[in-house]
Structure 1
């Protein structure tokens, strides 16, 4: 249920959050159309629940009054009043927490739904274009991104103004590359799992990057070191490890193939946006990779895919922007979401 709540002000701001299993990011919206201010990142495990973390944030920022409304992006589907965080111990009743926080509105939305809400409000300096086409927010768009998992969502414009988000669980579809080295990699990972099936998230995520690395090392007849996704990315960026470089190349090409499938499924002619925790760290490698080749390779729809823009979201806290956009829309102030 959405409750009536006023526009943000310095006296009664909106509170926006992006809460994951490791970090909880908070910020304040103090004017209509404004971006999040006074951003603070807290360790999720250091707080017993959402109410405790909000209290720590407000106290740490010296905020005396209570926000009038709050919207938080969270990992996992939000389907009712009770929510349990997928990668953490927090569980809550949204209605009870709203009352204890003293806010007029408390809304939890899926983290990729929040990213979808952010898309029309990204500025030129918030994105890095991959290819030669810029996104068109008057057309349907999609956002996807590897992090701990693989998130996917869409955003569809509504005649007369506004947008409708399409959150989903597209990261769990089966991954079926057509042929060549990529197919060999997936076949090897099928054998590793022992179930004969591999989902996109199993490969196109932080943990998936380590799985690909083990495959690449084995394919080159070399032992795989115990490397984290951050280690693999850092070595590839530095150009000091051929196996890590090859792993990132396979990863980006497979990501392109998956993103092309998402574009076709959603009719995302306005653009496919790439987000998540992994890609901004390897932006320069992504630009030089065969991502676009993977994206446009299709026996019948190559021309269609060539016309679809692909961009990397480089804004530091896009989910906070999306949380603000949700609040703007549901407060009846859509015209203020231009910043």
Structure 2
């Protein structure tokens, strides 16, 4: 069982901190971070001004692979930001969290939350799944933090679904409860891939040669785009080049390579189908939000694909999905917003 959130603290109360962000004294500073297999994004949030939004100051992105441990990465951020080590932190992590232990997907990092808290001399440390943080950010996103791909009026009292391709494929649900929102983490990226077209059936057959179980993540991720490209090359009897995900997407968007463009078209179409499937499965009448590092980079190309057509193509349930809007998260620091909102809201709940 994957646990979305783990809190370790010595006290539920946020203490006053020194005014090292140039604001008024007696404020509470939260270190927030979004730690993925490729990058770690950090920032500092003033919890006392959350009514004005959760935008983090002193934002810095660091390459995850440059550090042997997460503690080393956090220390380097604090050094570069030129601030004391905050006493409170909420970290969004790409990986499972269970019994106070974290394993970061796509990195050789495993750590105990309690030991990390003590090592950094923090008073409270929350760790949540990265897509849980992104989901919690959804209600707090401003107009310039997102772009609408399919416009409908969302039901403000209904669940919100968040998903997206990046290094892997993340997915989480945000459900309304009496006192706010509840995160429901999922491992939806590891559900079985369901092909819709003859080409996708052929891609599945080709990918089954490498995987006993072909998941959504095997196609909807950076490496998944490359796998689609290579599979199509085999299907077409062509020679695949040694291309990166960025190569495939760039060539496809510029119409420079038919195989790359076919791969990118398939990627976008499959993403549309998966988004529609999740909308149905989750009852996400509050909207579908697409996150991850890939979608914003291909946003201008999406209208040239069957993304929306495939999103709506749900047979007798088409009318149901037609009422669910789709947004793309354009703020790549959105998980920082969610992390800060989570820590503030849960701390307030503990104090009440």
In the alignment, does 2:10 pair up with 1:6?
no
1:56 Cα shift?
1.2
Which residue, out of 45, 53, 70, partners 1:50? 70
TM-score (norm 1): 0.91
In the alignment, does 2:199 pair up with 1:181?
yes
Go from structure 1 to structure 2 and tell me whether the alpha carbon gap of 1:7 and 1:281 turns closer, same or farther (over 3 Å shift). farther
Contact 2:202 2:235 in 1 (8 A): no
> Which residue matches 2:40?
24
1:184 Cα shift?
2.8
* SS at structure 1 position matched to 2:321: helix
1:333 Cα shift?
7.4
TM-score (norm 2): 0.88
Structure 2 spans left out of the alignment, 5+ residues: 1-7, 21-27
Partners of 2:153 and 2:258 lie apart in 1 by 33
Contact 1:29 1:324 in 2 (8 A): yes
Q: How does 1:201-280 map to 2 (within 5 A)?
A: 201-280=217-296
* SS at structure 1 position matched to 2:268: helix
Range moving further from structure 2, 93-102 or 2-11: 2-11
Which residue, out of 161, 180, 183, partners 1:162? 180
1:176 Cα shift?
1.6
Range moving further from structure 2, 294-303 or 148-157: 294-303
> Which residue matches 1:337?
none
> Which residue matches 1:84?
103
Q: How many residues align?
A: 330
Partners of 1:46 and 1:325 lie apart in 2 by 29
Contact 1:257 1:295 in 2 (8 A): yes
Partners of 2:301 and 2:280 lie apart in 1 by 25
Deviations 1:83-132 (A, max 9, x none): 23222232222112212322221011111111111110111111111123
Deviations 1:155-187 (A, max 9, x none): 01113x410011110111111224433233223
1:45 Cα shift?
2.9
1:7 Cα shift?
7.0
Partners of 1:107 and 1:244 lie apart in 2 by 41
In the alignment, does 2:167 pair up with 1:151?
no
Partners of 1:96 and 1:27 lie apart in 2 by 22
Go from structure 1 to structure 2 and tell me whether the alpha carbon gap of 1:298 and 1:96 turns closer, same or farther (over 3 Å shift). same
Go from structure 1 to structure 2 and tell me whether the alpha carbon gap of 1:261 and 1:317 turns closer, same or farther (over 3 Å shift). same
Go from structure 1 to structure 2 and tell me whether the alpha carbon gap of 1:281 and 1:299 turns closer, same or farther (over 3 Å shift). same
Partners of 1:295 and 1:8 lie apart in 2 by 48
Deviations 1:232-258 (A, max 9, x none): 111122222222122111111111111
> Which residue matches 2:79?
59
Partners of 1:41 and 1:104 lie apart in 2 by 24
Contact 2:154 2:323 in 1 (8 A): no
Deviations 1:63-96 (A, max 9, x none): 1x33131011111111122223222232222112
Partners of 1:250 and 1:68 lie apart in 2 by 47
Contact 2:149 2:326 in 1 (8 A): yes
Cα RMSD between the aligned structures? 2.0
